[in-house]
Structure 1
Amino acid sequence: MNLSIFFEPLNEDVYAALNKPRTLGFYTSRFVSKFPDWRSADIALLGVNETRGCKEEAPAPAAASSAARAVRQRLYSLTKGAGRCRLVDLGNLRPGITLEDTYLRLREIVEVMISHNTIPIIIGGSQDLEYGQYLGYEHLERVVNMVTIDSSVDMTEDPEATPNKKQLRRILMHEPNYLFSLGQIGYQSYLVEPEVMATLEKLHFEAYRVGEVHHKVQEMEPVVRVADLLSFDISAIRHQDAPGYQPANPFGLTGEEACQLCWYAGLNDNLTSLGIYEYDPALDKRSLTAMTIATMIWYFVEGFYHRKNELDFSSKQFTKYAVTFNTDNPDRMIFYKSRNGEKWWLEVEPLSSEKASRIVPCSYEDYLQAIEGEVPNRWIMTQARIG
């Protein structure tokens, strides 16, 4: 498939000075005159400067590439890590005539890339673009797991709300429904309607307040590790570390925590796309947000090149632990621990004998809870979703 018809090439004059040895810019093949060979790349960057999801008017042509451009200028100047690096930059996606057209273009691009084992990093645009990102998984014909990092939960039923405030509801209502799990990280209770949280609880989805992330960011690693796709709203980061969004929020994740979560995402063997949304460079006077996003992407790339390919639980890569309970449901619980690190997994038995068990990421805290005779909440929620 010729993806070049969807993209606008980059202006090399803007980035030529960033081609210094040992920088990411030096190792990134960019769409300037010739479209790069994305099939041989591990990761592909693409700017999607579509903002009709947060306002009525179409993006202004003169400013169409400013958000992704600002991030690229910071990202290309960062020093490459010690490992290999096969990155391409496809330029900026041409917005569709309508917002729906843009969703469909993004869907097609994500679908083609993950089919060829190339991970797209989408530099948005408003967060409703995650709907197009999600649609790119429909062809897999299997259930998928999604994690969204946001200060709010975009599931409002208000018909007057902009698309970037209700895309999660649209994802949940999409037919066919192939969403197995949704993890919401970093929400702030005073920004979320109680009915929305009740819906997440009813669907047995995981949701973590920003205070829980502050308390122990390591406990978010299993949440991120389950994801096939990750969506990151920059408004989840406190204004001091990322001022390039509105309305300003003095509370939220730190820039360091955002980078930690992106590192976890990069390490995730299952994750095949990343979207970073809601960055407005007009509000980013000193390019602090651009630098924060660039560093987040850097950590994702580094994490990717540290993947362990730990997916075969019958192999010698894992130690198996069986925890016995005094109750009948469950009578025992199976855990797996990687011998290459500190990662843990949990095998969850279905309620119905007609369905297969699932092995899901968990934490050491879940194992400690089980040996104390308590059933971890992650086991309960996963079993409820399996049915």
Structure 2
Amino acid sequence: MNLSIFFEPLNEDIFALLDKPRTLGAYIGRFTGKFPDWRAADIALIGVNETRGRGEETESEVFPARAVRKKLYSLHKGTGRCNIVDLGNLRAGITLDDTYLRLKEIVEILVSHNTIPVIIGGSHDLEYGQYMGYEHLEQAVNMVTVDSSVDMSEDQEVPANKKQLHQILMHEPNYLFSLGQIGYQSYLVDPEVMATFEKLHFEAYRVGEVHRQIQEMEPVVRQADLLTFDISAIRHQDAPGYTPANPFGLTGEEACQLCWYAGLSDQMTSLGIYEYDPEQDGQELTAMTIATMVWYFIEGFYHRKNETEFSSGKFTKYAVAFHDAPDRMTFFKSKVSEKWWMEVEPLSDEKSPRIVPCSYEDYLQAIKGEVPNRWILTQARIG
């Protein structure tokens, strides 16, 4: 497949001063003349300037990813190897749906070749195209979105970037197993939407919960195949490049921590960072925040432990007995990273048990005789 037909090459002028030794700019192969060899790459950067999902035309010549690239390329390379390509900027389709389909095809091809797409820019509804890129896997998919609101409106009059989660839930075939929402703010979300989340046994965490215990977000992110990040989830002081302004939200440091978790996860195969508007970012503070988020994702990726074989000697197995159903819960702790997983028994004998990420707090709750909420939600989804 010739992916180059979907992309516009990058302007070499912006890289003239960025190729300093030991910075990322000196290591990333980019599309300026010849299209880079994405098949051999670990991570592929993709810029997007599609904003019709906000209810506006894509007329601006200021690409969100351009400002991010200027910051990202100047950051010093982390430890270990670095095999990254920049595919350039996605050519928007004639219609918004055409752009979704282009993004779907690109994500599908890259994921199939074990290359992680990192999508920068555009409105948050593009996560629908990112999600559709997993349809070819023919397996249940786990998704996490970081957002100050929950974009699940059924109102046909609202912009596309306020209802893409509804599109995902209604998509056929349905291959979504779990959906996690991190950083939402209750006063921005319709209570009926949260009631729907509860009925579907999805996990949702308010921004205050993230502030108090961000480490509890790690197993949520670790379970995901794809992560999407709406910049409006970050408080305006740390990322002013979006509208309307929001004085509350995650800190830039917390956003980087979540991206570090995502990079570390063996299961994570794509990242999308959306809703950045460079025209609202006079000091390029948001560009720097996003660049640092991507840097932490990359650094996390190169620190992966390949912890997927629970029958190996890399794990310690713990069994916790109960008086009622379940009569026993099984936990696994990595001897390398000290991360935890738990085995969830299905309600039906026709289904198979599922091992999902959890936290040490879940294990402590179990030994007190309490069934962790994460266990209950997962069992309800398995059926």
Match of 2:363 among 343, 356, 367: 367
Q: What is the match of residue 347 of structure 1?
A: 343
Indicate whether 1:62 and 2:69 are aligned.
no
Q: What is the match of residue 262 of structure 2?
A: 265
The one-letter amino acid of 1:204's match is H
Indicate whether 1:52 and 2:52 are aligned.
yes
Q: What is the match of residue 112 of structure 1?
A: 109
Match of 1:167 among 164, 173, 179: 164
Unmatched 5+ stretches in structure 1 = none
SS of equivalent to 1:322:
strand
Q: What is the match of residue 4 of structure 1?
A: 4
Indicate whether 1:309 and 2:345 are aligned.
no
Match of 2:97 among 100, 114, 123: 100
1:353 and 1:30 mapped to 2: Cα distance? 51
SS of equivalent to 2:236:
coil
Q: What is the match of residue 242 of structure 1?
A: 239
Indicate whether 1:134 and 2:131 are aligned.
yes
2:51 and 2:238 mapped to 1: Cα distance? 22
Unmatched 5+ stretches in structure 2 = none
The one-letter amino acid of 1:304's match is F
2:60 and 2:2 mapped to 1: Cα distance? 24
SS of equivalent to 1:77:
coil
How big is the shift at 1:56? 3.3
Structure 2 counterparts to residues 216-365 of structure 1, below 5 A: 216-327=213-324, 329-365=325-361
Match of 2:189 among 189, 192, 200: 192
How big is the shift at 1:341? 1.6
Q: How many percent of aligned residue pairs carry the same amino acid?
A: 79
Indicate whether 1:145 and 2:164 are aligned.
no
Query: Would you say the 8 A contact 2:305–2:337 is kept in 1?
Result: no
The one-letter amino acid of 1:223's match is V
Moved over 3 A (4+): none
CA RMSD in angstroms comes to: 0.6
Indicate whether 1:19 and 2:19 are aligned.
yes
Query: Would you say the 8 A contact 2:181–2:205 is kept in 1?
Result: yes
SS of equivalent to 2:311:
coil
1:246 and 1:317 mapped to 2: Cα distance? 47
2:15 and 2:187 mapped to 1: Cα distance? 42
Count of equivalent residues: 383
The one-letter amino acid of 1:295's match is T
- Give the TM-score normalised by the residue count of structure 1: 0.98
Query: Would you say the 8 A contact 2:220–2:357 is kept in 1?
Result: yes
SS of equivalent to 2:329:
strand
How big is the shift at 1:48? 1.2
2:16 and 2:151 mapped to 1: Cα distance? 39
How big is the shift at 1:61? 5.8
1:123 and 1:239 mapped to 2: Cα distance? 19
How big is the shift at 1:15? 1.0
How big is the shift at 1:62? 2.8
The one-letter amino acid of 1:60's match is E
Q: Give a deviation string over 1:356-379, Cα, whole Å, max 9, x none.
A: 000000000000000000000000
